[in-house]
Structure 1
Amino acid sequence: MSRTFQRALLGLALLGAITTAAAQQYDYDRQEQWQYPAALAQSPIDIQRGVAIDGDLQEVQSIELRDTVATLRIVDNGHAVEVEAHGPDALIRGRHFELMQFHFHAASEHTIDGESFPLEGHFVFKAQDGRLAVVGVMYVEGEANALAGEVLDALGDASEGEIEREDIAIMLPRDKSYHHYLGSLTTPPLTENVEWYVLDTPVTLSADQIAGFNARYSHNNRKVQPLNDRPLVHFAAH
């Protein structure tokens, strides 16, 4: 056996090992095997409205989306349907963040007073200093959502697609009231110190649209984690 052939076999073996490790990393049936650096500030949580405290009205609390129309690239990344968006940004509590991507979990990862939802969207924003803020949106069955339909149509049976220009704002409610806490990413490496803003008002998708996301992933939701005495802050938008 030549050295070149041996190196090729070794490369294939390593690639297979990496692929297997990646698959195990996102194995939602074995979440207890996920490894993370700390365990006191993990996400998602059950948002218990009765323990939430009101936000300080002397501070800027609002979430303001800006430049929401963008070209979108849709990717099935192996564990979620993800939409990459470059251009939209937001002022979150008076600080500037840029939208990196949004993706979907079924069923919802966060629960509200123990209630789960068919689908949850995570809009991942990043500040210039690298800080992450994630806006969570719950989706329920009702009227169809135009952008959700375009996302599913653009993806089709492929692993990626593109939407030339669309307004991402229609995937979020107009009412930006939220519950806020400090948590983590909900997928490995489960990094902590992530700002979470889970919006109070759900957005509707049609039954067919919910089924379309479930056809891709119907169990990519992490189990709720203990709050561990973290402050849970509620802001009611006016």
Structure 2
Amino acid sequence: MRAALPLAALCLAAAFAANAGDGKIDYDHQDQWQAAHDTAQSPIDIVTHDAAPARDDEPLALSFDHTHAPMEAIDNGHAVEVETHATQATIRGRHFTLAQFHFHAQSEHTLDGKHFPLEGHYVFKAQDGRLAVVGVMYEIGKPNAQAQAVLDSLAHKRNAPHEVDIDGLLPAKRGYYHYLGSLTTPPLTENVEWYVLPAPVTMSKQQVDAFVAHYRHNNRNVQPLNGRPLVRYGG
């Protein structure tokens, strides 16, 4: 799944910019959402035993640099979103920059039909405009200091942190499932690379409840895979 042609990449970047500016999205009437193309949509149910293992000669690495970055947490009208642009990623040998990350409740992707309480989408952009989204699952467990930093910033609490360490919001195990899909909010633009990490990260119940208090149902329904390759990288 190599990079798209420049024109397609530019169109995708424009669609992403338009999507980022959208206000409220009606998740109760998803059947009315329209996509220019609708055969390679996201999210999907990741059926783990159907995923093909990556070939030995494929680049596997998913690595992040400059994870300690300035941030601004906002409510964009349909999700809790964090604006931060310092974090870099190397994804299968290619360079991307983090544009923003945001949260969905409950998770948009499912693993063997299972939802998680929250899913984070880390939206990375290449220089040619191509998008790669890293999906991270969150479950209830130990408190997460970086999640609290986001919540404190969102609430504009006194002395709220102005920085976040992205690494603390990602799992230690960086194996992932990869497929080619779409944005999960209108305009639902396709040709987006997805990298879904199955190892969950914990937040306390109070932290999960704080995110859910903003948006209890901002997850798109799972979409048919329609024969697309689903590849497993790492453990």
Structure 1 length normalisation: TM-score?
0.86
Equivalent of 2:209 in 205, 208, 211 = 211
Taking the aligned partners of 1:102 and 1:217, their CA distance within structure 2 comes to 15
Residue 153 (structure 2) pairs with residue 154 (structure 1): yes
Partner AA of 1:177 in structure 2: G
In 1, Cα distance between the equivalents of 2:198 and 2:222?
18
Deviations 1:64-117 (A, max 9, x none): 001111110111000000001111101000000000110000000000000011
Q: Secondary structure of the equivalent of 1:116?
A: coil
State the one-letter code of the partner of 2:51.
A
Other-structure match for 1:90: 89
Provide the residue aligned with 2:115 in structure 1.
116
CA distance in 1, matches of 2:48, 2:179: 12
Return structure 1 stretches of 4+ with deviation > 6 angstroms. Answer: none
Q: Aligned partner of 1:200: which letter?
A: P
Residue 183 of structure 1 pairs with residue 181 of structure 2: yes
1:202 aligns with 2:190: no
Equivalent in the alignment of 2:140: 141
- Change in Cα spacing, 1:66 to 1:157, as seen in structure 2 (3 Å) is closer
Q: Deviations over 1:3-35 (max 9, x none)?
A: xxxxxxxxxxxxxxxxxx954xx1000000011
SS in 2 for 1:97: strand
Residue identity matched to 1:181: Y
Asked if structure 1 preserves the Cα contact closer than 8 Å seen for 2:111 and 2:198, the reply is: no
Q: Say whether the 8 Å CA contact 1:73–1:162 is kept in structure 2.
A: no
Determine helix, strand or coil for the equivalent of 2:228: coil
Cα gap change, 1:162 to 1:84, in 2 (>3 Å): farther
Aligned-pair CA distance for 1:166: 2.7
* Deviation of 1:163 (Å): 3.5
Q: Which amino acid aligns with 1:90?
A: A
Secondary structure, counterpart of 1:31 in structure 2 = helix
User: 1:49, 1:112 within 8 Å by CA — same for their partners in 2?
Assistant: yes
Q: How does 1:60-71 map to 2 (within 5 A)?
A: 60-71=59-70
Shift of 1:157: 7.0
Taking the aligned partners of 1:66 and 1:201, their CA distance within structure 2 comes to: 20
In 1: Cα distance, 2:192 partner to 2:102 partner: 16
The separation in 2 between residues aligned to 1:194 and 1:163, in whole angstroms, is 32
Matched residue type, 1:100: A
1:200 match: secondary structure: strand
Q: How does 1:26-45 map to 2 (within 5 A)?
A: 26-45=25-44
Q: Give the drift of 1:62.
A: 1.2
CA-atom RMSD in angstroms = 1.6
3-state SS of paired residue (1:163) = coil
Q: Report the Cα distance in structure 1 between the residues aligned to 2:156 and 2:26, rounded to whole angstroms.
A: 23
> Aligned partners of 2:142, 2:160: CA distance in 1, in Å?
24
2:199 counterpart SS class: coil
Aligned-pair identity (%):
58
The residue identity in structure 2 corresponding to 1:191 is T
Contact 1:140 1:204 in 2 (8 A): yes
Asked if residue 227 in structure 1 is aligned to residue 218 in structure 2, the reply is: no
Q: Which residue does 1:129 correspond to in 2?
A: 128
Q: What letter matches 1:175 in structure 2?
A: K
Question: CA offset at residue 165 of structure 1?
Answer: 2.6
TM-score (norm 2): 0.88
